[in-house]
Amino acid sequence: MKSIPLLLMGCGGVGRQLLQHIVDTRSLHAKQGLLLRVLGVSDSQIMVIVPDVFTTGLTDMHLTEVCRLKSSGSSLQAMNSFGECQILKSSEVTKRIVDVAALLGRSTGLVLIDCSASSETIGILNRTIDLGCCIVLANKKPLTSQIEDYEKLVSNLCQIRYESTVGAGLPVITSLTRIIASGDTVHCVVGSLSGTLGYVMSELEGGKPFSQVVRAAKSLGYTEPDPRDDLGGMDVARKGLILARLLGLKINMDDIKVDSLYPDEMGPSLMTTEEFLDKGLPSIDTTIAERVKKSSSEGNVLRYVCTIEGSRCQVGLEELPKNTPLGRLRGSDNLVEIYSRCYKELPLVIQGAGAGNDTTAAGVLADIIDLQDRFP
Amino acid sequence: MKSIPLLLMGCGGVGRQLLQHIVDTRSLHAKQGLLLRVLGVSDSQIMVIVPDVFTTGLTDMHLTEVCRLKSSGSSLQAMNSFGECQILKSSEVTKRIVDVAALLGRSTGLVLIDCSASSETIGILNRTIDLGCCIVLANKKPLTSQIEDYEKLVSNLCQIRYESTVGAGLPVITSLTRIIASGDTVHCVVGSLSGTLGYVMSELEGGKPFSQVVRAAKSLGYTEPDPRDDLGGMDVARKGLILARLLGLKINMDDIKVDSLYPDEMGPSLMTTEEFLDKGLPSIDTTIAERVKKSSSEGNVLRYVCTIEGSRCQVGLEELPKNTPLGRLRGSDNLVEIYSRCYKELPLVIQGAGAGNDTTAAGVLADIIDLQDRFP
């Protein structure tokens, strides 16, 4: 039986779902001779870890209890009632992770998984890589940090996987990695990478006012609590940066031109969410309706997309022909078009749900399994 | 520098294109610390191989010459003018491949690549796997052989890759493998897996007669020389069997219900290609036109698809809703819809060119690179 030792940072929705998936797939993976051995789990305050990282792992009962505690908003501190686990304070976590990585890096190997939303993990991820371990990320922030940090992180592509940072479980990174490995030249990538904005743009085609569509999206649970977090385009830009860097562009967040769907004077520092929804949004309705009408009159549709072409990466509204995969997109699916030497006139298209804890955690688990050949 | 020793069986369009890709990507792979060392190349008659399989490989000049000879229809025998290569007769090839696999299997490793169209390679592929080597297939036949042979071939999934057998370079197998590894349950896979039949079905929607559309497809070079090789559906069935088995179905070709687009009495043993095109085809026009009209009147479109659901795998015409990815498909792209726990109401969709030597060979090369962690 091949054993893959894991350490998980981040116990939010995706992290918890990952632990649940690991428990649920035990017998499936055992059939393939694989054992996923979870050594420890940390949130921003506490780490729960087994005392002997060489042979033991948290039991399924431990993992289920971690999920239960975190779902109910309780502290992982309660795990100290299980005598077999050690509980570490947040100040001790980084040192312990590095110690474990140093111990296992050259022997059994280790996968450090980042399901946090922290921008502070880049240091520990880079040290873990240096110690010969692997990392799997659902967290976009380490990949959108400054280019120097990023390049260190991906210096050995065999040690890192991060499929779930773009389009959740959709095989976008995997497909681009394969295309690049085969020597195919990517000319252009265009993607609708926000389910929220995908839904908004396709609803606008029916003639509904922008403000009404955004409010509907909010009540359907498609948007962040403050819809400006979606409408500003920064989340799409982060995904765009990850794809652009994968394609070899040496750029930072600042280099991406991001068109927000609301003007600066309606920003969060100048208006509350309620004011934005009640007064701000309706005042943009006419402008947006005119853009929709104009593109429709030219046989096009308006989409909020990320475009990477040549050395350019930009995020914003684009008029696209109706009879393209992006033009035909409806609802909240993500969709990526990849144009390359092999997919020249008609792109390689990947489409599907690009969000959700279940799907995102499934992508993380597939990444872990994909690393199995690096383990003895 | 990590060295991956390769042996290639099959020097048709895909094999030649693969050799060309290997030459073209030398510097790209060197940057990632990878050297693809082609030890030998065989066609149905001859094998060209380096005398020392431990350290040397065919040079780029050798590989280019192999491509040139095969493109011009010449024999690989001419390679004996290069003193550095050994030339083996077809009767010696199998033994030498097994010898090389035995020598390298437990040391440097080896990838045996099957780009032939032969049903005779299953034996040597299985022996190579047993000797601890890896195999990469563009050849569908070994994967559609009897279930016992298939199960032996895939007994260790880490040693085998075969992305290019379905949809050429499209990441269909890769995506399904990831979905399965993550413990997601696949409920249904529906795919338009023939560019020819995809083109035919979408052209029929415009009201053109079937015979006219097929003749147009033939003159565009979309069909085999005898279009019945496409219209019979057996090639789609072979791809369907590969996907069905990947999903765990223990079935053989005989278990797949295949609906041919022409009746038995127009089969190749009863009619020449010309007779079929001139007399056979037009006599089916009305029947097909009525089916197209009927599905259109119900808001559907007619597609020639492979459907895998539960324990059932079938190939033939299906009426599908217009507003689904398959319903919206136009032209000769392949398209696969995957429905699973994570992609429940709206499927994961992969779409793009599913044929062509360049794309197929790119998929083979990506498979080889994907095996790199198995090499020291």
What are the pLDDT digits (tens) for A150-173?
A: 999 999 999 999 999 999 999 999
**CB-CB under 8 Å, B348 with A351:** yes
Residues 6+ apart with CB under 8 A from A136: A111, A112, A113, A114, A160, A161, A162, A364, A367, A368, A371
**DSSP H/E element including A34:** strand A34-42
At B300-358, the pLDDT tens digits run 999 999 999 999 999 999 999 998 999 999 899 999 999 999 999 999 999 999 999 99
pLDDT of residue A206: 87
Distance CA B106, CA B103 (A): 7
Q: Which chain B residues contact residue A342 at CB under 8 A?
A: 169, 353, 356, 358-359, 362
Average pLDDT over residues A315-333: 94
pLDDT of residue A81: 82
Average pLDDT over residues A237-241: 98
**CB-CB under 8 Å, A343 with B353:** yes
Active site residue B239: yes
Segments of chain B scoring below 70 in pLDDT: none
Average pLDDT over residues A180-201: 96
Using the Cβ of A183 and the Cβ atoms of chain B, whether some distance falls under 8 Å is answered with yes
Distance CA A78, CA A38 (A): 18
**CB-CB under 8 Å, B373 with A374:** yes
Question: CB–CB of A115/A9 below 8 Å?
Answer: yes
**CB-CB under 8 Å, B333 with A342:** no
| Distance, C-alpha B245 to centroid of its chain | 15
Question: What letter does residue B331 receive in the DSSP assignment?
Answer: T
Q: How many residues does chain A have?
A: 376
pLDDT of residue A246: 98
**CB-CB under 8 Å, B182 with A363:** yes
Average pLDDT over residues A256-261: 97
B323, B348, B374: best to mutate for the A interface, most A CBs within 10 A? B348
Per-window interface: A 242-271 vs B, CB < 8 A: none
B132 annotated ligand binder: no
> Is the pLDDT at A42 greater than 90, yes or no?
yes
pLDDT of residue B82: 77
Distance CA A235, CA A257 (A): 13
Confidence of residue A83 (pLDDT cuts 50, 70, 90): confident
Using the Cβ of B352 and the Cβ atoms of chain A, whether some distance falls under 8 Å is answered with yes
Q: Which two tokens stand for residue A338?
A: 């990849």
Using the Cβ of A53 and the Cβ atoms of chain B, whether some distance falls under 8 Å is answered with no
Distance CA A173, CA B373 (A): 18
Average pLDDT over residues A104-116: 96
Residues 6+ apart with CB under 8 A from B123: B94
Confidence of residue A82 (pLDDT cuts 50, 70, 90): confident
Using the Cβ of B351 and the Cβ atoms of chain A, whether some distance falls under 8 Å is answered with yes
Distance CA B184, CA B163 (A): 20
* CA distance readout (Å), A183 to A188, B5, B359: 15, 19, 11
pLDDT of residue A227: 95
pLDDT of residue B31: 94
Using the Cβ of B233 and the Cβ atoms of chain A, whether some distance falls under 8 Å is answered with no
Classified as helix, coil or strand, B63 is helix
Q: Own/partner pairs for A145-152, CB < 8 Å, 24+ apart? A: A145/A119, A146/A252, A147/A245, A147/A250, A147/A251, A147/A252, A149/A122, A150/A245, A152/A126
- ipTM computed for the complex: 0.96
**CB-CB under 8 Å, B366 with A178:** yes
pLDDT of residue A185: 96
At B58-106, the pLDDT tens digits run 999 999 999 999 999 999 999 988 778 999 999 999 999 999 999 999 8
**Cα distance from B260 to chain A (closest Cα, Å)?**
28
Q: How many residues does chain B have?
A: 376
pTM of structure: 0.97
| Distance, C-alpha B248 to centroid of its chain | 19
Using the Cβ of A30 and the Cβ atoms of chain B, whether some distance falls under 8 Å is answered with no
Question: CB–CB of B57/B38 below 8 Å?
Answer: yes
A111, A342, A371: best to mutate for the B interface, most B CBs within 10 A? A342
